[in-house]
Amino acid sequence: MSAIARFRGRHRERKPAARARTGQPGRRSAAAPARRVRIAPRKKSGTGSGSSSRLPLAAVWLLAVISLASLIYWGGGFHKPAKRAEPAARTEAPIAASVPAGAAAKPDAAAKPANRHEIQAHPAAPPTRAQDAGVQPAREPAPAPPPIRTAAVVPAPVEPPPPPPPVTQPALGRVAIVIDDFGRDLEMAREFIRLPFPVTLSILPRQPHSREIAELAHRHQRQVMLHLPMEPRGYPKTNPGSGALLLAMSEAEIVRTMNLDLDNSPYAVGVNNHMGSGFTEHADKMRIVIRELQRRRLFFLDSFTSARSIGLSLAEQAGLPARRRDIFLDHEQSPQFLNRQLKQLLRQAKIQGSAVAIGHPHALTLNVLREHAELFAAERIEVVALSELMP
């Protein structure tokens, strides 16, 4: 016989006894609804008298279900992570400080626990991985400092580059202009030195301003020559002046006279003859002059006052740098003649490549040269010192 059958038999035997104790008929009360509860069979005891005092199995199950539901219901609402308590306290601090003084006197309101529904309406946020590991959350970066105001730098206006220099065409020829007979007029020498192109000053020896003019010309980068006087045809009626070389002199006298003349005119780089139409025709006398010039390393310009002069040929034979005059500019003092001679100088320079002109310290010569200063550039003729045209 199974345990369930034995339990049902005992249960039927207890029903009449129960009805006899209560004095009620054996029917169910209308107030209490009928409930069949299955009660698990009790274990056999030694005496069997304790089975009536045990609760039915259904009541035990009911209490267990109610207890479990209560734990789930009430326990889930109050489960909060421990790490969230500290931020909550920090956020409530300023709220409590803003409550007026009258409200702080009510301890019941402050101590009253929060409503269960309010707690469920605002559940706590789940803990983060950093909180689970016990790591403090990273701090927010500090705000960037305000930008430093700097004064605006205004660039200086850029000046346009200077225009390129004009392209200069190569010169078609070169000329040297030698002005003879300096030594008497210092102011006239200054004016010729001020010309915008270089002239070569040939200075007579033993004159009042010979040395002074030589020094002045040298300071202004103008070339200096000795204008060496020589005996002309028609001497002594035509006097060549102080320090002249004469046909009657011996070789020693010629050398001594030349040295005195050159010492009186410092910075001289060459020599040309003043007059000398008679002296330059004599080869023996001219050879003495050429030898002395070689010794001093000076060049020779044959003024070519005589068509029979042999000065250039003797200098070339000796290997001395030498040249002959091509144009006389002003042996006639008229503007028309000077202009014609100047144009002839330019033509000859273009044909030969170079040309040498000789003038004199006259006011008319100075003015014509000054007025035609731009003519040389327009004709692409370069004015240079005499030494640059020496071979």
Q: What per-residue confidence (pLDDT) applies to 53?
A: 47
Q: Is residue 290 part of a domain?
A: yes
Q: At what angle do helices 283-296 and 251-264 cross, to 10 degrees?
A: 40
Amino acid code (one letter) for 36: R
> Are 148 and 361 within 8 A, CB to CB?
no
Q: State residue 99's pLDDT score.
A: 40
Bridge partners, 178 (sequence order):
200, 358
Distance between CA atoms of 200 and 387, rounded to whole angstroms? 9
Dist CA 155 CA 157 (whole Å): 6
In this prediction the pTM is: 0.59
Asked if 192 and 236 count as a contact pair (C-beta separation under 8 A), the reply is: no
The residues of the chain scoring below 70 in pLDDT are 1-56, 74-139, 149-154, 156, 166-168
In a domain? residue 341: yes
Domain presence at residue 95? no
376 domain-assigned: yes
Residue 55's pLDDT is: 54
- For position 353, what pLDDT does the model report? 96
Residue at 2 is within a domain: no
**Residue 354: per-residue pLDDT:** 97
- Predicted pLDDT at 49: 43
Check whether the bond before 161 is cis (ω within 30° of 0).
no
CA-based nearest residue to 296, from 323, 271, 316? 271
The CATH number that applies at residue 259 is 3.20.20.370
The verdict on residue 21 lying in a domain is no
pLDDT computed for residue 57 by the predictor = 74
Q: How far apart are CA 200 and CA 203, in angstroms?
A: 10
Q: Which domain holds residue 373?
A: 178-389
**Structural contact between residues 290 and 300, judged by C-beta atoms closer than 8 angstroms:** yes
Number of compact structural domains in the chain: 1
Give a yes or no: residue 25 inside a domain.
no
Structure tokens at 275: 């007059």
Strand ranges for the chain from DSSP E: 173-182, 200-203, 224-230, 268-275, 299-302, 322-324, 327-328, 354-359, 381-383
131 inside domain: no
Do residues 245 and 257 touch, judged by C-beta distance below 8 A? yes
The pLDDT, as a whole number, for residue 69 is 78
Tell me whether residue 304 is exposed, middle or buried, using C-beta atoms within 10 angstroms of its C-beta: 0 to 12, 13 to 18, 19 or more: buried
Structure tokens at 52: 């009536």
